[in-house]
């Protein structure tokens, strides 16, 4: 078994993506564990995680690295954030904002083993509720199924360092099911263009449809 490092902390094992497990033996969902002697990897399914899908589809650069401080908006039950927790390592941190208390209950189980994830039950559109816990983030990762996706990103941009990156996943169906997805993607990107420049955009089909995965840099 050979693990080839594609980006720092992101590996390819027999053509499948993986991260090195921060907590050996622990799963965050139903992912497969791969034993490699002193190390253990967790396979990272692109059908379950849009970041994995974007990497599979040729994301050029990965800004989430060891020791990064990440603000994750819309963490759900912790699938993608658990892999980000592997990547940032024990000295990094992943602040996870999630609105649904049902999802939060599952996320808390993941956090019990992963001390670098801080779960926060809150509306990402009301950042005053968690501002006392968060500052100086290197990355915002946003994957919220909400109507006002650009508004939520702008609301949280104050927590991002200047020159930091926002991974902005736009779900057209949550904004307007009747309009062309490409128009909605352009509209959402233009709404944040005063604050962010577009670095790259990746489609995530066939893993997920009607989404745009955009990488933005804070001006």
Q: Does 123 bind ligand SAM (CB under 6 A)?
A: yes
Site size toward ligand SAM, by CB under 6 A: 20
Cβ atoms of residues 204 and 53 within 8 Å: yes
Let me know: does 124 contact 144? Beta carbons within 8 Å. yes
Name the minimum Å distance from CB 115 to ligand SAM: 19
How many CA atoms lie within 13 Å of 49's alpha carbon, on the beta-carbon side? Answer: 25
Binding flag, residue 150, ligand SAM (CB under 6 A)? no
What is the Cα–Cα distance from 190 to 175, expressed in whole angstroms? 15
Mask of contacts with ligand SAM, 158-187, x by CB under 6 A? ------------------------------
146 near ligand SAM (CB under 6 A)? yes
Q: Could you say whether residue 208 binds ligand SAM (CB under 6 A)?
A: no
Q: Which residues are within 8 A (CB) of 4 and not within 5 positions of it... i.e. 6 or more apart?
A: 11, 12, 13
Q: Which is nearer to ligand SAM, 2 or 122 (CB)?
A: 122
Which of 20, 31, 143, 188 binds ligand SAM (CB under 6 A)? It is 143
CB atoms within 10 A of CB 219: 10
Identify which range of 2-10, 53-61, 91-99, 185-193 contacts ligand SAM by CB under 6 A: 91-99
Q: Which stretch binds ligand SAM (CB under 6 A): 73-81, 130-138, 158-166, 193-201?
A: 73-81
Q: Taking the complex as a whole, how short is the minimal distance between the CB of residue 83 and ligand SAM, in angstroms?
A: 9
Say whether residue 125 binds ligand SAM (CB under 6 A): yes
Q: Comparing C-alpha atoms, which of 105, 145, 138 is closest to residue 123?
A: 145
- Among 79, 157, 172, 203, contact with ligand SAM (rule: CB under 6 A): 79
Nearest approach in angstroms of CB 15 to ligand SAM is 21
Which residues are at the interface with ligand SAM (CB under 6 A)? 49-50, 73-76, 79-80, 97-100, 103, 123-125, 143-146
């Amino acid at each position: 078994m050979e693990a080839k490092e594609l980006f720092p902390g992101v590996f390819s094992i027999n053509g499948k993506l993986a991260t090195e497990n921060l907590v050996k033996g622990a799963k965050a969902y139903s992912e497969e564990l791969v034993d490699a002697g002193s190390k253990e990897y967790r396979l990272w399914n692109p059908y379950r995680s849009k970041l994995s899908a974007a990497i599979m589809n040729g994301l050029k650069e990965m800004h989430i690295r060891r020791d990064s401080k990440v603000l994750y908006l819309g963490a759900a039950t912790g699938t993608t954030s658990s892999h980000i927790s592997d990547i940032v390592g024990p000295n990094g941190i992943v602040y996870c904002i999630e609105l649904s208390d049902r999802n939060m209950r599952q996320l808390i189980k993941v956090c019990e083993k992963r001390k670098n994830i801080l779960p926060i039950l809150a509306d990402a559109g009301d950042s005053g509720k968690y501002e006392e816990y968060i500052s100086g983030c290197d990355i915002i990762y946003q994957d919220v199924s909400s109507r006002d996706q650009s508004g939520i990103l702008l609301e949280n941009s104050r927590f991002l360092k200047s020159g930091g990156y926002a991974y902005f996943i736009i779900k057209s169906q949550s904004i307007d099911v009747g309009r062309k997805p490409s128009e909605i993607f352009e509209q959402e990107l233009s709404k944040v263009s005063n604050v962010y420049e577009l670095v790259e955009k990746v489609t995530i089909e066939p893993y997920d449809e009607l989404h745009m995965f955009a990488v933005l840099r804070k001006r």
